[in-house]
Amino acid sequence: MKRPEFSSISTYEEFSKYYWYRDELIEICRKLGVSSRGGKHELEGIIRQHFEGTLDAVKLNKAHTRKAARKTGRSAGTPFTSNTSVVLSGFTCGRAGREYFEKATGIVPFHFTADMVACIKKARQENDTSFTLGDLTDVFYGRKTYAVYDKSVCQWNQFLKDYFADREKNGTAEEARSLWKKVRDSDKPKVYTPELLLTGETKDE
């Protein structure tokens, strides 16, 4: 089953069966008349609102405009604390952010987890000024769940890794892309299995 055109899809459930590149999501959002800024997860959320009939293009565009115009970053000399708001402080995963968590956790060098990055992103998107660095620390230690990294953005990378692990020296990038295209444009799971080579289940029906 080949992936249909977006215009012919009537539900988010059907839309989510297929793999969409970020560039494609950006183009869809532009056609819907809304801001196309953000990662795949945010863009897919906008499209979900479209299908659910809750998308307010005017409100969303104003929110994105305010977000782009808002000044971020700390005042010089103002230290981060556990009560610091991630949103109001303009907290990032840069050097100052790493230094704070190195002191807070005793782990040097400190590396932000994917879930921590997802939490920071969610707090900004929802303008949740109540989400603090203390909450983010709890996320790091697994004591709190606020947002979970969407692993679907890595589907192609995992598919390619599994393909070459199976095919070893016999595999080619061209073959991998061909198999991926068939899986991507179908409503089947976006994973590599050896059966794709043996049964031809992903061939166009």
The domain of 113 spans 86-140
Whether 204 is covered by a domain: the verdict is no
The tokens for 107 are 């782990």
- pLDDT score of 205: 38
Whether 21 is covered by a domain: the verdict is yes
- Mean pLDDT, rounded, for 80-93: 92
pLDDT over 90 for what percent of the chain? 37
The two counts, helices (H) then strands (E), for the chain are 11, 0
- Residue tagged 């840069």 (tokens): 94
Whether 78 is covered by a domain: the verdict is no
CB 29 within 8 A of CB 51: no
Residue 204 φ/ψ, nearest 5 degrees: -60, 140
- pLDDT score of 72: 41
Give this prediction's pTM. 0.47
pLDDT at position 60 over 80: no
Examine the domain organization and report whether 134 and 179 are in the same domain.
Answer: no
Whether 74 is covered by a domain: the verdict is no
- pLDDT score of 125: 84
Please state, in angstroms and rounded to a whole number, the distance separating the CA atoms of residues 91 and 75.
11
- Mean pLDDT, rounded, for 43-65: 82
Query: End of a domain among 69, 96, 111?
Result: 69
pLDDT at position 119 over 90: yes
Whether 159 is covered by a domain: the verdict is yes
Among 80-89, 90-99, 195-204, which stretch is predicted with the lowest mean pLDDT?
A: 195-204
Number of domains in the chain: 3
* pLDDT digit string, tens, across residues 164-181: 899 887 888 889 889 988
Residue 156 CB burial class (10 angstroms; 0-12, 13-18, ≥19): middle
- Mean pLDDT, rounded, for 124-153: 88
Examine the domain organization and report whether 65 and 10 are in the same domain.
Answer: yes
Examine the domain organization and report whether 158 and 180 are in the same domain.
Answer: yes
In which element (H, E) is residue 136 found?
Answer: helix 133-140
Whether 205 is covered by a domain: the verdict is no
- Residue tagged 């620390």 (tokens): 137
Examine the domain organization and report whether 108 and 156 are in the same domain.
Answer: no
